[in-house]
Amino acid sequence: MKRSLFLLLAAFALSLPTMHADVTVEATLDTAALRIGEQVGLNVRVKVPKGTKVVFPEYRQGYLIDGVEVLECGRIDTAVLDDGARLAYSRRYLLTSFDSALYSLPAVEVSVAGRKVRSTAPLGLKVSSVPVDTLHPDDIRDPYGPIDVPYRWSAAFLLQCLLLWLLVAAFVVSLCRLLKREPLQRRISVAPPPPAHKVALDAIAKFKGREAETEEELKRYYDELTAILRTYIKQRFDVDAREMTSAQLIQALTEAADQSALFDLRELLQTADLVKFARLQTSTLDNDRSLLHALEYVNQTKSTEVQPERIVKVVDVDLRRRRLRIAVRWVLTVLAGVAVVGYAAWLVYILVDTFR
């Protein structure tokens, strides 16, 4: 029994190096010697099997050891090893010292799967003081002037600056449109309606070749033909011809229209009344004569004024759509302003970080 237990413990002890052989912690310095106030990087690299949890030290107290200060704990980088079977985690710590001495930096402790693993060996760091000429204390030299380092403007940064100017222009335009007072009425340019005689002639032209033999067809023929003329008279002379009898219409046109043209209109209206009320049966020749009278009347009384190509109309602005446009402009202005401020702050941060 004791022998079996001894063999089991021996096998477990021999397996420990194998279990941890895949875990390595390496710590290196950028340089082993520096002067007071200079900075050096402590690079820690941990290689572990995939899926292993690794926790780097944070040095929240600000000192690695007495005399060596931790200025910055860099971000953790990850690399894939052995086709993804292992991972390498790296972190850089920025160190400095203001006391000249030879320091022995302790091994770095990294938590791997909850177990503390140290780097292979401690590191040595020599911090030297700046030599001072004690033999010539009055020999004070002027400090070195600033060194001009040329800065090369990259195409990407220039495009970013151009984008900033475009955002500024969009903000200014949006602000100007927002502050501009819109009138409650506006003028629009539209094409004028076709002249009354053209509409009438086009409608009369459709009667050419139209046959009307039955009583209903004749009544419809003259109803439509006189309706065209009454609409033309309303638009041309501003006479409410649709609500007048033939006699009233002739009487009203006697003062407004050319007397010579009323002969054709009077004959056409009399024929239309006889067809509609006395059931007069007209021939094709009579219908063509009536159509000719309608054409002659329109041609003799049409306006000779030349109409403009475009006319200006004053229309009222839709208040609901106006409020909606103002609300949209407010939103666009605010978004453009926020974009300008945020983008400008980001570019300033890039410039400061570049020259720092």
CA distances from 319 to 16, 38, 178, 182, 299 (A): 83, 70, 16, 11, 45
Report residues of the chain scoring pLDDT below 50.
Answer: 1-2, 5-19
Length of the chain: 356
Amino acid at 124: G
In this prediction, residue 40 carries a pLDDT of 94
In this prediction, residue 264 carries a pLDDT of 80
**Alpha helices, H only, the chain:** 2-19, 155-179, 196-205, 215-237, 246-256, 259-277, 284-301, 319-355
Q: Please, what sign has the CA dihedral across residues 160, 162, 168, 173?
A: negative
Give the C-alpha separation, 49 to 88, whole Å: 9
Give the C-alpha separation, 58 to 242, whole Å: 98
In this prediction, residue 15 carries a pLDDT of 43
Residue 69: closest CA among 101, 39, 43, 114: 39
pTM exceeds cut of 0.75: no
* Helix, strand, coil share (%) of the chain residues, nearest 5: 45, 20, 30
In this prediction, residue 13 carries a pLDDT of 44
In this prediction, residue 188 carries a pLDDT of 66
Enter the tokens of residue 224. 């439509």
In this prediction, residue 326 carries a pLDDT of 76
In this prediction, residue 183 carries a pLDDT of 64
Give the C-alpha separation, 97 to 351, whole Å: 29
- The upper half-sphere exposure of residue 292, i.e. CA atoms within 13 Å in the direction of its Cβ, equals 6
User: How remote is the C-alpha of 306 from its chain's centroid?
Assistant: 48
- Bridge partner residues of 45 (DSSP): 26, 90
CA distances from 34 to 26, 37, 54, 92, 96 (A): 21, 8, 31, 17, 9
Give the C-alpha separation, 260 to 208, whole Å: 25
The CA angle 48-53-58, to the nearest 5 degrees, is 100
The CA angle 335-339-344, to the nearest 5 degrees, is 155
Enter the tokens of residue 143. 């400090």
